[in-house]
Every structure is written in C-alpha cells, then in structure tokens.
Structure 1
Amino acid sequence: MKKNARYLSILLLLAVYVSANCFAQELPYENGSVWDLSFIKTKDGKDLDYLKDLSKNWKAIMEEAKKEGLILSYKIISASAVNRDDWDLLLMTEFKNYAVFDGMDEKFYALATKVMGTEEDMDKLMVNLTEMREILGSKLGQEIYLK
C-alpha cells in the first residue's frame, strides 16, 4: 500500500512538472497591430462614384484620425469579385491594439462631426452611400509576426 502511494505521489509530481513546462513554452509568434476590415460590394456602375466619395470623405476622416493618434494607418484593397455576393473593395484601418477600442465610438463620432459637419450632413452622406455600395460584413483581425 505504501509502495502504491509512493508511485502515485511520483506520478502526480511528474504530471505537475510536465504541465508546468507545457504552459511555460514560448509562443511561436508575437502579436502585432489590430485591423478593422470592412468588406464592400459596390453597386453596378457606382464604383468610381464610391471611390470619389472615399477620396473626399473617408480619407479626410482617416487622416484626421492619424493626426490625433487614433489609428496607425489605413488602406483600400481592390479586387475582382468572383461572384455576385463577393466584395470588390476592402477598407482596412490599423489600430495599435485591442485596448484602444475603449471609448473609440465617441472619439470617432467627435472626429467625424469635426471633419464632416453636422449630424444632418452625415445623415445625407450615409443615404448617398447606400446608393453606391453594400457593406457585406466587417471583422477585426490581429497581425501576428512569426518568430
């Protein structure tokens, strides 16, 4: 009986040692910045109109957000849609990390009113945008850097 208890104790110590070493292993990557990705499908014949609007309004907001330190960068990726339900523009906004999203809605609202004008002006713009594009979805993703 004492022999079994001794073996059990040794097995428990071994299990604790092995599990501690497993958790202490270093990750094979480092976390990078966080990207907000918006998948856009422009409506037929409205792609240039939408790009003109992005150039005028979205770019102005993004540049101001960069100046204020709210974002790191922004990009647009254009791609051919492979079917009628696919996106053709990807709007990408880079943030330092997930922590910066605390209070971000209020900060971006204040920034948008500063750049765009009144809430009424922004409402008109939103109505105009719905005639040019459809937002298929959006998601957040974090860059990782392999070691």
Structure 2
Amino acid sequence: MRTIFRYALCAVLALIAGTAMSQDKQYKEGPVVEQSFIKIKPGKFSDYVAYLAGPYKALMEARKKAGLITSYAVYSFAARNPSEPDMILSTTYPNWAALDRVAEDEAVSAKVMGTMKQMEQAGADRGVMREVLGSQMMQELILK
C-alpha cells in the first residue's frame, strides 16, 4: 500500500513540476512580421516606387489606423545576383490573432482601394512592374 502511495505521490509531484516549468518560459511572444521579397522588372523602378508612395502607403496607413497592423516598412535590397529581390516589403502585426481579422481588413481595403474588380486590376497593373519572389512570416520572441 505504501508503494502505491509513493508512486502516486511521485506522479503528482512530477506533474506539478512539469506544469510549473512549462509556465516559466524564458520569453514572451512578440509581434508577427511578414516580409515579401520583390524583384522589380527592368525600367519599372520609378513606377513601382510611385505605387508604393501612393496607393500602397494609403492602404497601409488605413490598416494602421484601424489597428490591423502596428507598422510597415519598405527596404531597398542590394541584390547580389539576378535571382535575388530588389526590395523587401515588411508588415508588422501585433500577434498571430491579428491575421484572423479578415472581414475588417477587407472593409479597410475596399474603402481605400475600391471594389474587388478595381483591386484585381490594380494587382494586374503591379504585375507588369514587379515579381513577388516569395514571402515569410516570423514572430519575435522577447527574451525575459
């Protein structure tokens, strides 16, 4: 009987210790950053930067004002070879849950960019200026 009690006590203590250790993370989860890698087509740099300074900036500022994103940035990238991007577009979200606010984001986009048909045409227009090479999403871990 004592042996069973000892095993049960050890199991309970191990469970408590494991729970306590898992709650003692050495970091907290920070913002989520999305980066898009853009290759600008020859002769289209000025046109693409004009798009970024116009409609893109207006959309990002509206998303920021609505609390959908916390910040955004455009980086010029020194490509070392023809397959690398010329530009990186970065968008920072407060957390992963912010990505679930699709209806709100669509409403902000419609207000700034117009109807779905207008947004599709704008996407086609951007396609002649640049190629999206890929994207990545990552979350900052803030060390304690």
Secondary structure of the residue that 1:86 maps to in structure 2?
coil
Question: What stretches of structure 1 of length at least 5 have no aligned partner?
Answer: 1-5
Quick one: which of 75, 81, 84 aligns to 2:82?
84
1:18 CA drift (Å): 6.2
TM-score (norm 1): 0.80
TM-score (norm 2): 0.82
Please list the CA deviations of residues 51-89 of structure 1 after superposition, one character each: whole Å capped at 9, or x if unmatched: 110110111001111111111111112111122111121
Quick one: which of 34, 48, 51 aligns to 2:49?
51
Please list the CA deviations of residues 10-54 of structure 1 after superposition, one character each: whole Å capped at 9, or x if unmatched: 799768756764663332222111112111111122122111101
Distance 1:38 1:99 in 2: 20
Secondary structure of the residue that 1:101 maps to in structure 2?
helix
Quick one: which of 104, 107, 110 aligns to 1:107?
104
Identical-residue share of aligned pairs (%): 39
Question: What stretches of structure 2 of length at least 5 have no aligned partner?
Answer: none
Distance 1:14 1:80 in 2: 59
| Structure 2 partner of 1:126 | 123
Distance 1:47 1:22 in 2: 55
Distance 1:43 1:23 in 2: 54
Distance 2:33 2:126 in 1: 23
The number of equivalent residue pairs is 142
User: What value does the CA root-mean-square deviation take over the aligned residues?
Assistant: 2.3
